[in-house]
Amino acid sequence: MKDVMKDVMKRTFVLFFSLAILLPLAAGGGKEAPAPGGTGAASAGEGPVTYPVPGNPKIVISRGADTDIHTAGFSSYNDTPGVKALIAQTGINVEFIELVDNNAYMLYLAGGNLPDVIMCGKDFYPGGGFKMHEDGLARDLTDLLPKYAPDYWKYINADPQFYKAIREPDGKHYTLAGYFRKPGSIYSSWIGLVARKEILDKLGMAPPETADELYRFLRRSKDELGVETPFMSARNRFPMIFTGGSLTSPFGLPRADAYHVNGKVHYGSYDPQYKNVLAFFNKLYTERLLDNNFAVTDEPTAHASVLSGKTSLIFTAASRIQNMTYAANNAPDFTLLGLPSMSTAKGVTPIYSYADDAVTFSFWCFLPETSRDPANALKLLNYLHTEKGNILANFGQENVTFAFKDNNPVYTEFVTKNPKGLPLDGILRTYGLLNFPITQDDRMSRQRFPLPQQIQAMETWSKSEGSKYRIVNNSIIGKYADEYAALVTDINTYIEECRAQFISGALPLDRFDSYIATLKSMGMDRLLQILQESYDVYNK
């Protein structure tokens, strides 16, 4: 493996989870997604894959650990019923190497003893799939997919939107895509601002729509009701406030990362409107309306603050609305309400809100050049796109976690009213394969989000003009891959560091021009040129 690859990887892993897994890009619109293929479906000229495959081959996959499985009583994917069912149904003995944090991931992958498959966010490596291939990390899968992953290949070729989002600028495939969703589904808008409705009611306020109204809500929460920390977010969610547009939109800025306006690429953290976003957050921080520990607060702490009434607003996921509501024992005085991204003016549609694309850039897979058994590795991943594999991934085990009713899988009370009080998401991640590169079945999503509060939140979050600005495929042209990789890591690290300092006041806002000048000196204009040319190639 080339030394340059190791060097880039080491500088990238700090951003791995925050910038790749947590911050997928998105796009809206398009035709309805096709259903997953039947077992062993094949593209023209290729034979079907038969399961279980012979020989009991072993495949090793590395991926980030999922703490949600702990809520269902499991500490490792290898022990979960879902993975055991996957092994039984495919005949492939899969072993997961779970990396608990960024440092563990860095040390494991940089050590050179690579697994057969690496599961990650598509953007974890600056320069994308082409750069990984060029650096000797990712295998070219273009000719292998039709032969060993025919169901997956048929699926991505059934919708031009899928194929366009997945391929690299050179037309080849170095990764297998992660989540697929029905284009335009409200379930794509799974994260946003959530308020305690009771606090709004006590204050006699309508749900805020603008930054000024949101500020008044937080200020009155503290002054009139004694709410200790009006606005909180877990540290793993906090960056998405900026990249998801919830509180950049009211200042005329779609998002803090890359976006386009009529085909011209911008980078929000380099735009002049970004100063107003930072000023707003600095005001919240200074007046102690924003959690002053935003950089370190974990999710249980943030949820506990909402449950206790010490917080009136949180940025969180739809699944967490259910967790908190159940933790409150469905108390009549505890209701969570999804708020839209804030607007530039009352009654105006928000500029941007978070939404997954029809192809989500999370839980993508690639095969290292050193993968010992690429054929069976692809057959394993392909199974998730067969009819039986998709049912296993979304619903788990028949007669345990679901039963067929009128040919539709319906969750049993083991999932919806678990006798041990285990949360739904924990069960789905252990008895099914929810956080894997699969197709998200809307039949699953309707049952996964059973509360009307969750549907209200996702419908509210989905209403924005974000599809006008989203860049769906952010792959970089091969000839620029090295240059892009060198630029983007240092630039994004600097942006993240300065964001925290501007918010806390450690870096005064009168230094914003100096911040912009530093970005310019670091090559931000050149980075934009590379992004623009790559975007133009993609759109051709």
Residues 391 and 328 both lie in one domain: no
Is a pLDDT exceeding 70 seen at residue 222?
Answer: yes
Evaluate whether residue 76 is within a structural domain: yes
Count of domains for the chain: 3
Whether 128 contacts 488, CB under 8 Å? no
Co-location of 239 and 286 in the same domain: yes
Same-domain pairing of 309 and 445: no
* pLDDT higher than 50, residue 457: yes
Most confident of 131-135, 152-156, 355-359: 152-156
When mean pLDDT is compared across 47-51, 196-200, 393-397, the lowest value belongs to 47-51
**171 and 191 fall within a common domain:** no
Average pLDDT of the chain, as a whole number = 87
**Chain centroid to CA 55: how far?**
36
Q: Would 49 be classed as within a structural domain?
A: no
Q: Is there a single domain that holds both residue 170 and residue 196?
A: no
Q: How far apart are CA 23 and CA 253, in angstroms?
A: 17
Cβ contact 382:48 at 8 Å: no
Does one domain contain both 110 and 209? no
Say what angle helices 274-286 and 481-504 make with each other, to 10 degrees. 40
Decide which of 37 and 262 is more confident. 262
Per-residue pLDDT at 109:
74
The answer on 318 and 277 residing in a single domain is yes
- In DSSP terms, which residues pair with 120 in a beta bridge? 364
Segment 245-268 shows an average pLDDT of: 97
Give the pLDDT of residue 45. 39
Residue 78 lies inside a defined structural domain of this protein: yes
Please check whether residues 177 and 230 belong to one and the same domain: no
Q: Do 433 and 392 contact (CB within 8 A), yes or no?
A: yes
191 plus 180 within the same structural domain: no
What CATH number does the domain containing 327 carry?
A: 3.40.190.10
Q: Which amino acid is at 92?
A: I
For residue 488, is pLDDT > 80? Answer: yes
pLDDT at residue number 305: 97
Residue 311 lies in a domain: yes
Q: Are residues 21 and 167 part of one domain?
A: yes
Identify whether residues 215 and 317 lie together within a single domain. yes
Q: Percentage of the chain with pLDDT > 70?
A: 88
Say how far residue 290 (Cα) sits from the centre of its chain. 24
Among the candidates 451, 486, 512, a domain finishes at 451
Closest CA to 391 of 89, 145, 93: 89
Ranked by mean pLDDT, the top range of 25-34, 173-182, 365-374 is 365-374
Does residue 31 register a pLDDT over 80? no
> How does residue 471 score in pLDDT terms, banded at 50, 70 and 90?
confident
Amino acid (one-letter) located at 75 = S
- Asked whether residue 309 is domain-assigned, the answer is yes
The listed range with the strongest mean pLDDT (11-25, 40-54, 304-318) is 304-318
The pLDDT, as a whole number, for residue 28 is: 27
**Residue 473 belongs to some domain of the structure:** no
- Among 307, 339, 371, the domain boundary falls at 339
Residue 39 near residue 194 (C-beta atoms within 8 A): no
* 451, 466, 486 - which closes a domain: 451
Question: Is residue 262 over pLDDT 90?
Answer: yes
Phi then psi for residue 176, to 5 deg, are: -105, 135
Query: Do 10 and 157 fall within a single domain?
Result: yes
148 and 378 Cβ atoms separated by less than 8 Å: yes
Pick from 53-57, 78-82, 84-88, 534-538: least confident: 534-538
Query: Would residue 233 count as lying in a domain?
Result: yes
Stretch 471-497: mean pLDDT: 87
Q: Residue 10 pLDDT more than 80?
A: no
Residues 476/127, Cβ–Cβ less than 8 Å: yes
* 274-316 tens-digit pLDDT: 999 999 999 999 999 999 999 999 999 999 999 999 999 999 9
Q: Which residue has the higher pLDDT, 178 or 406?
A: 406
Instruction: Considering only residues 175 and 266, tell me which one the structure prediction assigns the higher pLDDT.
Output: 266
Quickly count: other Cβ atoms within 10 Å of residue 497's Cβ: 11
Q: Residue 14 CA to chain centroid, in angstroms? A: 17
pLDDT band at 219 (very low <50, low <70, confident <90, very high): very high
Residue 125 located in a structural domain: yes
Residue 5: its H or E element = helix 3-15
Q: Which pLDDT score is estimated for 156?
A: 86
How confident is the model over 364-391, as pLDDT tens digits? 889 999 999 999 999 999 999 999 999 9
Q: What is the pLDDT of residues 411-445, one digit of tens each?
A: 999 999 999 989 888 999 999 998 888 888 888 98
| 366: containing domain | 3-25+54-184+357-451
Query: How does DSSP assign 153-183, residue by residue?
Result: HHHHHS-HHHHHHHS-TTS---SB---B--T
State the pLDDT at residue 479. Answer: 83
pLDDT for position 39: 41
Using alpha carbons, list the distances in angstroms from residue 390 to 37, 178, 179, 324, 383: 9, 13, 12, 29, 8
